[in-house]
Structure 1
Amino acid sequence: MSLIPNQRHLFDIPEDVTFLNVATMGPLPKAAFEAGQRGLARKLRPWTIPDADFFEDTRQLRPLLARLIGADEAGIALVPSVSYGLAVAAQNLTVARGQKILLLEDQFPSNVYTWRRLAAETGAEIRTISARGNQSLSEALLDAIAADTGLVACPQVRWTDGARIDLAAIGARCREVGAALVLDLTQSCGAMRFDVKEVQPDFMVAAGYKWLLGPYATGFLYAAPHRREGRPLEENWITRAGAEDFSRLIDYTDRYAPGAERYDMGERSNFALLPAFRASIELILGWGVDRIETTLAHRNRALAEALNARGLQVGPETGRGPHYLGALLPDSAPSDLIQRLRAEQIYASKRGNRLRITPHLFTSDTDVERFLLALDSMLG
């Protein structure tokens, strides 16, 4: 598979800026910014907005999001955040008193607090899974899934260090014991292969502002076929059958639009955010997620070798997301390392005792050289 050439020209990133922090927030491509501007401009003259525009952006976006994860369009709902999508999932899953809800150690808070509430409301028990010794996170989680497991909630890669989870194996094990599987793919969707047919989660959610390169407050939820008749968080008008006919909206109906659309957030027809989000998704699909993953893996393979050679331990590629590096910092690392890097226009992040390094297709060889030289200077 051919590598994607550098795509910096599609982003507004100055040459003297080294941005290695997509895991915190991905930059909006120029095309997405321009699409958002055009969309927002419609609101200057609302009398020019036809009723159909309340539906057109979502009609175009939903199948694109489905393509990203190998899903059918009817399984996609539009949500503003991971916490919203997880709340939808929690409202439509049943766990019994004494059953276990399995979470990973150091899992992102939004994918913890939701399940703590569910456990408190149902009498289920939270069990936090960590790896021991040479055990991988996937192995630890697989070993923990048992007959008393009611639900597993996890990512594809852990946000702190990029540790990779074998979701196909986890999904198969959940089906064996009858446990529900809920996924947060915010740190992998758009940069790493995923197919719902292989994993078969009950629900999956991803925020749009990281690896999907979209605006903040965008995202999507996938609901499995047997989870599409549930109860939405909101009872809004636009997800009802026949909502396209504004003249008949007072003919109230209990019927929803088909599929997972019932779970859409209220005011989903955002005239600025949705066109921008769609432009970003079209760009990702044009590159191809497989090629994005291969290209980022190639870049990070060399960078991981350079970091390991400097004593900043990075896990093997088989155990981490290929787009994601979490370098273990020495005890002697300055506490203000991130601030020192920023002073040099180099942007990464620190999570725990690891330096999180997440480049993208706009990252150049010059960026990597600047970053490594800065580390050599700052870490002594």
Structure 2
Amino acid sequence: MSVIPNQRHLFDIPDDVAYFNTATMGPMTTASVEAGKAGLARKLQPWSIQDTDFFADAARLRPLLAQLIHADTDGIAFVPSVSYALATAAANISLAKGQEILVLEDQFPSNVYVWRALAESTGAQLKTITRTGSSTLSDCLLNEIGPNTGLVACAHIRWTDGALVDVAAVGKKCREFGAAFVLDLTQSCGALDFNTQNVQPDFVAVAGYKWLLGPYATGFLYAAPKHRSGRPLEQNWITRKGASNFARLIDYSDEFGAGAERFDMGERSNFALLPAFESAVRTILDWGVENVERTLRTRNADLSQSLNSVGVLCPPEAERGPHYLCPLLPDSAPEDLTARLKAEGIFVSRRGDRLRITQHLFTNDKDTNRLVERLAYFLRS
């Protein structure tokens, strides 16, 4: 592993912009945008689009997505959103009346509503895990997994405060009790190394527009081997065997393509989004996820010390993702703090009583120095 030098030259970020909001929306590189433009331009002359073009982009991208999470290519499906991926998971998980579905306090809404609906339709009970005392969030979750647990659904990194879940330990305990395990990696994939083989989740959902630096409405689903003969949300033509033979599409087939391809969303052959997403994923893989993680850990360690020195206290690294800083704001913090920072070209987000600071490889020392200095000023004034 190595620390990656600053990569701002790959992005269209002016010198007077300090962007610390990757957890909301990761910026695309100029190369990804150009790839998307070139893909979209194919629709200027649709007669130039070949039958094979409906399959080529997906065929190149699917193994790259598998590589991101150390999974096999057959386990990857294309989805437009995490909510789509989680709905697919919910449609393929069996629960008995009275079993518990465990979620975390302050979990992202899309990762709660779907389980509320599943609990209602199956008679299962939704149980929210809260961190108590000095215990970590992971410890509190692990303590609740037992014989009555039917499903654990959570994120690797909690979006509000960057709290890190020990997903390998959770996966192991789920297997001990025969519980399903569904993970949302949207706030970690591309910035925090994840090994599907070590964790062994049933399903993994990822949105591509945050830490993967891809376009909006891109993402993927991983399905474990035992779920790959499951029920897709849609019955679309392109996921069937023989779909590449356009002349014989009316030879209707009940057989699907390999593995999790049956779960692919309709119109997956998006000529604009897939090339842009592919470019983004290739950039992440070229950097190396472990190298990105190490670089952001190093930069955030320095930034955390600087923030602590001006009274903005960050959680210790052991409790958070190394790419995530969510310091607790003092009671005196102005309500319009993020608006004041934005007016000076500094972009962060606020989640409750925490300031969410999520830099990436485009962030430089000038940016971090400005953030600390202006924060200190606004908290004094």
Which of the five TM-score ranges fits, normalised by the shorter chain? over 0.9
Structure 1 segment 55-204 matched on structure 2, within 5 A: 55-204=55-204
Describe the superposition over 1:45-71 as per-residue Cα deviations: whole angstroms up to 9, x where unpaired.
Answer: 000000000000000000000000000
SS in 1 for 2:222: strand
Please give the alpha-carbon distance, in whole angstroms, between the structure 2 residues aligned to 1:323 and 1:13.
Answer: 20
Match in the other structure for 2:258: 258
Describe the superposition over 1:56-89 as per-residue Cα deviations: whole angstroms up to 9, x where unpaired.
Answer: 0000000000000000000000000000000000
Deviates more, 1:211-220 or 1:303-312: 303-312
TM-score for both structures, normalised by structure 1: 1.00
Cα offset for 1:101? 0.1
Letter of the structure 2 residue corresponding to residue 61 of structure 1: L
Structure 1 segment 21-36 matched on structure 2, within 5 A: 21-36=21-36
Deviates more, 1:305-314 or 1:230-239: 305-314
Please give the alpha-carbon distance, in whole angstroms, between the structure 2 residues aligned to 1:15 and 1:312.
Answer: 25
Percent sequence identity is 63
Cα offset for 1:2? 1.9
Stretches of structure 1 that go unaligned for 5 or more consecutive residues are: none
Please give the alpha-carbon distance, in whole angstroms, between the structure 2 residues aligned to 1:65 and 1:247.
Answer: 31
How many pairs were matched up? Answer: 380
Cα offset for 1:171? 0.2
Please give the alpha-carbon distance, in whole angstroms, between the structure 2 residues aligned to 1:48 and 1:14.
Answer: 37
Cα offset for 1:312? 1.6
Cα offset for 1:10? 0.1
Please give the alpha-carbon distance, in whole angstroms, between the structure 2 residues aligned to 1:131 and 1:24.
Answer: 24
TM-score for both structures, normalised by structure 2: 0.99
Match in the other structure for 1:16: 16
Please give the alpha-carbon distance, in whole angstroms, between the structure 1 residues aligned to 2:253 and 2:90.
Answer: 25
Describe the superposition over 1:329-376 as per-residue Cα deviations: whole angstroms up to 9, x where unpaired.
Answer: 001000000100000000000001000000000000000011111101
Q: Could you list the runs of 4 or more consecutive aligned residues of structure 1 that deviate by over 6 angstroms after TM superposition?
A: none
Please give the alpha-carbon distance, in whole angstroms, between the structure 2 residues aligned to 1:326 and 1:181.
Answer: 26
Please give the alpha-carbon distance, in whole angstroms, between the structure 1 residues aligned to 2:188 and 2:285.
Answer: 14
How large is the Cα RMSD of the aligned pairs?
Answer: 0.5
1:286 aligns with 2:286: yes
Structure 1 segment 286-365 matched on structure 2, within 5 A: 286-365=286-365
